Chain A
């Protein structure tokens, strides 16, 4: 370099400025921007399906999976952040479904009223379970929530044999909704809840929950009230589950309480499995896990003849996948990804150290 130029830049250094390309990357590093982007893509799927470019069965399956993803995000906060295991998810979903159904179909209430009441009921339920969690912990708590789900299931079976709704009666934003509109409603709910959760886990609340999960005594010594955050965790997860139930009721529209698998232990276990294999501390991981458990079959494998003829194989593969992932990657796919990233980073560091030392000797 020219000595004059070098002197000028040495004596009068320019203040550090960000590279132009960094701005775009910074925007995409923002979690909210990522969520918004995914939301746009999800909405686009429905429009493409309307245009006939994607099969409507695919879009329908996607919407169905997203419902479970909503439930799973709430569960992620409960399990991954607060360290509370629950097997009552199915019951919470079922209650949301039933309350909304009863209000809309049974009492002819408008959608917003149904939504509001469902939220209120699920908050009450969350508070109850939260109080239980203050007395009982660990697997005991899981089994107690299982009992609670059984209570709800028995209740629903007694109250109503079939939950069947005519969605054309529902008016949203002044329009009578149809299946496509419900899909968009699901997407919107998913995106909003995802954004709220993402904010929450990056706030004092998320940190308090992590501290509580790690050591209840240390958390209390730091001034974190177990009652407040356990109740909060359960309230959030029941709200999300109830929202899932409400959307399920509007999307699937027909459910027989005695035979529906939605209300049984298997749903709770599937949600748990989705969160675990995706990575209990990662929202995207959880979403991915839901797609593995619920979406893989309905969206992709249903196109392959072999799996259509032998659906049992898919169940087996899911089971095997869960076993293998948990055995070798207890943190799920998210951990797999982050350990890969860490490995690459260490390789790079190693190379840089070699370069640094190597050029000298």
Chain B
């Protein structure tokens, strides 16, 4: 849930400043995650430093993509930009095994163990004949996510940078005319998005024991759907969307505890996606989106 929220925020910020849906979000995150794993497993770097290093790599990749590709390719249309991010997916999917060795899945135990060592057992809450398990890992992730998102929203609302982002988001051209350096704004957004992506990936991977190049794909798909559900036109919409999707999935899953619904957990995702589809058909601009009037 937290992971999706972070990823959704990352997708939104790039979408708003560069009018691009970044398909490479997942691949970049995975790449950063590999860096973290490499640092932890082979170099024996402490966990916090390792994660920080991974995020730095993510930031560097973000800035690199913005500088090298998007600034040069401004005449490329919206769709073209999305295809370019798609090209990066292939680039990273090919690059990861080349750099980090051929095995598809590499262990993420170092991180897992360190985190596990410091955590107390999971919380188990009995509820309505079933039980809800909250792992310590999830709580840590929740804490980090809430803090980061809170800081980011405060920044967006009150800092000069935030104002710049919002201005660029509403119209890049006008923002430029008003003396805002949109280049810096988009570069920072890319850096931020990719950094957040890596953090999200590390948090996600921390829950399991191994990672692969494509392990973020599902998260990314959910993040996109969250963005659409919440509406791209606000920054908080996608985050709420990201909370709603897994919540709905859990609710459907929870139904399996009741008689007559045993089979439902298999259909969990199908039901959630169908609900989502209906929600968006009813409100195409997203739950929190604003309606725009088409001009002819």
Contact = CB atoms under 8 A, between A and B. Distances in A.
A and B held together in a complex: yes
Interface of A: 79, 85, 132, 135-136, 138-140, 142-144, 146-148, 150-151, 154-155, 158, 217, 264-266, 269, 272-273, 276, 310, 312-323, 326-327, 330
Nearest to A320: B91
Main secondary structure of the interface of A (DSSP, over half): helix
Nearest to A159: B266
A120 B214 CA distance: 34
A264 B15 CA distance: 23
B21 A318 contact: no
Q: How large is the interface on B (under 10, 10 to 19, 20 to 34, 35 or more residues)?
A: 35 or more
A330 B267 contact: no
A154 B83 contact: no
A266 B221 CA distance: 11
B228 A319 contact: no
B284 A136 contact: yes
Contacts of B69: 323, 327
Given A316-B95, A323-B87, A158 B277 contact: no
Interface of B: 15, 21, 23, 69, 72-73, 75-80, 82-84, 86-98, 102, 214, 217, 221, 224-225, 227-228, 232, 266-267, 269-270, 273-274, 276-277, 280-281, 284, 294, 296
B84 A135 contact: no
B223 to A, nearest CB: 10
Nearest to A221: B296
15 contacts: A135-B284, A143-B228, A147-B225, A147-B228, A150-B269, A154-B270, A158-B266, A158-B267, A276-B80, A276-B83, A310-B98, A312-B95, A319-B88, A327-B69, A330-B77
B276 A312 contact: no
Contacts of A147: 225, 228, 273, 276-277
A317 to B, nearest CB: 8
B98 A316 contact: yes
Given A132-B281, A272-B83, A313-B94, A143 B225 contact: yes
A312 B98 contact: yes
Contacts of B83: 272-273, 276, 322, 326
Contacts of A146: 221, 224-225
A330 B76 contact: yes
Contacts of A269: 23, 86, 89
Given A150-B269, A154-B273, A326-B80, A136 B280 contact: yes
Contacts of B274: 151
B215 to A, nearest CB: 13
Contacts of B91: 315-316, 319-320, 323
A91 to B, nearest CB: 11
B94 A312 contact: yes
Contact of B21 (A139, A266, A316): A139
Nearest to B102: A312
Given A136-B280, A266-B89, 4 more contacts: A144-B228, A147-B277, A315-B93, A330-B77
B86 A139 contact: no
A328 B185 CA distance: 24
A272 B217 contact: no
B29 to A, nearest CB: 15
A264 B280 contact: no
A277 B238 CA distance: 31
A322 B89 CA distance: 10
A292 to B, nearest CB: 12
A144 B280 contact: yes
Contact of B284 (A85, A140, A313): A140
Contacts of A276: 79-80, 83
A139 B82 contact: yes
Contacts of B76: 326-327, 330
B280 A326 contact: no
Specify which of A142, A320, A323, A330 lies most central, judged by the most chain B CB atoms within 10 Å of its CB. A323
A153 to B, nearest CB: 9
Nearest to A317: B94
Nearest to A218: B296
A269 to B, nearest CB: 5
B273 A151 contact: yes
Nearest to A128: B277
Contacts of B21: 139, 142-143
B21 to A, nearest CB: 5
A216 B227 CA distance: 25
A85 B79 contact: yes
Contacts of A85: 79
A314 B87 contact: no
A319 B94 contact: yes
Contacts of A322: 83-84, 86-87, 90
Given A314-B94, A316-B98, A323-B88, A265 B227 contact: no
Contacts of A144: 228, 277, 280
Contacts of A321: 87
A315 B91 CA distance: 6
A318 B273 contact: no
A345 B184 CA distance: 42
B94 A316 contact: yes
